[in-house]
Amino acid sequence: MRRILIFGIALLSGLVVVGCQQGTQKAPQAAAGMQAMPVKTVAVSLQPVAQSSEYMATIKSRRSATILPQVNGILTKILVHSGEHVKAGQALMEIDPRQQQATVAAQGATERQKKALLDYNTIELDRQKKLFAAGVTSRDAMDQAQQAFDNAKADYEASRGTRDMQEQQLGYFTLRAPFDGVVGDIPVHVGDYVSPSMGTTASALTTVDQAGDLEAYIYIPTERSSEARVGLAVELSDTSGKLLEKTKIDFLSPQVDPTLQGILAKAPLHPTPEIMRNAQLIKARIIWSTKPMVVVPVLAVTRQGGQPFVYVLQKQPNGQFTAAETPVTLGDTVENSYSITSGLKAGDQVVISSTQFLVNGMPVSPLPGA
């Protein structure tokens, strides 16, 4: 009985060993038989990549005027609308001028009165001179006529100067464009009382900005002040990222803005359908420098759990290829490619097709010409 038990155990052990050997032989056969996935690859290369920073910029006109009231009164007419193109001297608004018109009229009457008296004293002086020359009148009478003439002349000239001043004052009741430009926002309405004593901001009636002469105001953080300089390239784009214009910094403030803690840089630009208004906000990308960096196509980069990675082609000892999952650190985009700050080196072959079907270590077959 004991011999039979020992024989059974030996027989069972033999069967287990044979089964394990058969399973071990099947695994390599299965791996060897896995079909390699055809993929396209591209060699990683070094390209010059711009080192840049993006900031918000404000569009401002190089020539902009704030229209302020110079007299007190009720606004009776608004002759333009926001965004309208106006010519130099064109009337924009009118403040009720009736009181000033009455003042001008009264002063005109006073001036005419003074002129009539001057005319009389002119004739009287001429008559007294002739009588004095003929010995009919005394020098004292002629001197009195001369004094009356001088007083009348001074009164007339003073009255005329006052009328000129009042007429000039009357001109302030019509606000005109100082130059050709575009009308800005009009925060006031007909019937509003306006006054120059209300304060510059509060009393602003509108603005006129000269079209065609714009610049971008960019505030550069103080920590990058050592890199800021005139001549740096700037790429301006709208809020959606569309490139509007390439320009350069032509002004750099020597002082730090105490409110924004930044250095003001200015870059000229030309008006376009997207850039027309003063105080418009756009994006400004300042290019500090360029340096050679590893660049890969956007199609080569995939993400898993927020970590970007690429599949690098690796040749095995048996001559076959596998896809190795390689984490990378992305830099700026260069057209349809990413710059890579770490994870790859020049010459690496990265997979650019069927990446969604790959797993780490999967056999791949590079397509000819890839």
The pLDDT confidence band at residue 83, using thresholds 50, 70 and 90, is confident
Range of weakest confidence among 20-29, 58-67, 286-295: 20-29
pTM: 0.56
State both tokens at 175.
């606000």
Residue 279 has pLDDT above 80, yes or no: no
State residue 33's pLDDT score: 52
In the chain the domains, ranked by start, together with CATH numbers, are 53-62+208-291 (2.40.30.170), 69-198 (no CATH)
Quickly tell me which residue has 């390599």 as its tokens.
Answer: 28
The strand pairing partners of 235, in sequence order, are: 246, 285
Band of pLDDT at residue 38, cut at 50, 70 and 90: very high
Mean pLDDT of 158-163: 95
Pick the most confident of 127-136, 277-286, 329-338.
Answer: 127-136
> What Rg, from alpha-carbon coordinates, does the chain have?
45
Q: What is the per-residue pLDDT for 349?
A: 92
Number of Cβ within a 10 Å radius of residue 64? 18
Integer Cα distance of 215 and 206 in angstroms: 20
Tell me the pLDDT band of 194, cut-offs 50, 70 and 90. very high
User: How far is it, in rounded angstroms, from Cα 251 to Cα 277?
Assistant: 21
- The dihedral through the CA atoms of 264, 269, 272, 278 has a sign that is positive
